[in-house]
A = this chain, B = another copy of it.
């Protein structure tokens, strides 16, 4: 009999597993996995959250990757104040109405000064500056982005990453000479967001236009990327708005054109937030924990040594050499050489935290000059020679990234149901599907539909859909104006 790794004393006491299965109860699984995988934690301040390193690393990678794209798109990063004077909100009436219920105010004011809000979004504070900075067509297009925290004083129950009073986001705010330029880049940015969601997070999305009812407060129109969660709820994952000329007029932004006349410019704003991390967790996680796509994982691979008394030193030495070599090859790697836990406990530990590849190395592997590679999302396990290990790992990480997207994409596609009658719509929603229906797009019908379906809302008018010529609205029987996706949402 070969000697076996011992189960350490403290490992017997610690239970790492989840108490709920994802497939059986996503609503309970989600907060448990977020907490146990150390993605986030509740704060003692109601409605606020702590983003822990395992999740923050995802956000940081998104930032780094998106910043590279912003340079290519000639968007510059900047930082505007957290505080916004109350009077700014009142300048754009629709915008003010949309945000006023959830604004947090600060208590400190100057003698006789006005109330200051904590930014729920930065249109107003930025456009006041833009009105100072923009003088002529030579200053346009102006493209500025900021990464920051925003506060919306939610009263509904906190959902980590999905609904918190404070969250992190980026908000881009651009100014153009013409409507055409603005339209073009509003679309460009939503397509960039699609890439962020799909290529980095492996979360497939539908790109579409919001109905009038769901349009951003103050915008002419809003484009959105919508992801679809395994519980049948949609998640708005990023939006890009054509703000028209309304804000420019309210904030007095104008420019001297090439024709020597004064003109009012067109504006866009676009943003995505840390809720993307929530989408990632729900999309890829399983009963063992979260699964983080390689491109955004803090650790792309974990080395777990299989330790026995006689061979411990040799195995550990090899693991350390491997760790260094792989790190030098640009792989984000961690070696779990802790003495106080068994290898089985470590498997569970890193599976819970979502590391996409595990590299096992024991005395037999050492003899054969190989390691065992284990894929987190499938459990697939196979030996790999130590020669060219970095190359193999890079290829497998790419493969895992693709597979995660493909799995999620298939689920999304499998869950889309085309409906043309009210009964079909109700049935599809009952079955937690994403329903695509011909719709009249009238505001009052949208409200009726929401009430009549127990909370389903229009998610978007897909950009690539044909017009529903001659068809009737699924809810009102009026002439249908567009194919529209409906689902309950986060």
Contacts and interface: CB of A to CB of B under 8 A. Distances in A.
A235 B51 CA distance: 33
Nearest to A52: B78
B81 A43 contact: yes
A89 to B, nearest CB: 13
Nearest to A80: B50
Interface string A133-167: 10000100000100011010100000000000110
Interface in A61-88: 64, 67, 76-85, 88
A379 interface: no
B50 A129 contact: yes
A85 B45 contact: yes
Interface in A94-129: 104-108, 110, 113, 115-116, 118, 125, 128-129
**Size class of A's contact patch?**
35 or more
A70 to B, nearest CB: 10
A302 to B, nearest CB: 15
A90 interface: no
- Interface on chain A toward B: helix, strand, loop, or mixed SS? mixed
Given A45-B85, A138-B340, A79 B168 contact: yes
7 contacts: A43-B125, A48-B81, A48-B82, A53-B78, A82-B151, A82-B166, A148-B149
Given A45-B81, A50-B78, A138-B338, 13 more contacts: A41-B133, A43-B80, A44-B88, A45-B116, A50-B80, A53-B144, A56-B79, A76-B298, A79-B168, A82-B166, A104-B108, A105-B107, A107-B107
> What are the 3 tightest A-B residue pairs by CB atom distance, in nearest-first order?
A53-B76, A48-B81, A51-B79
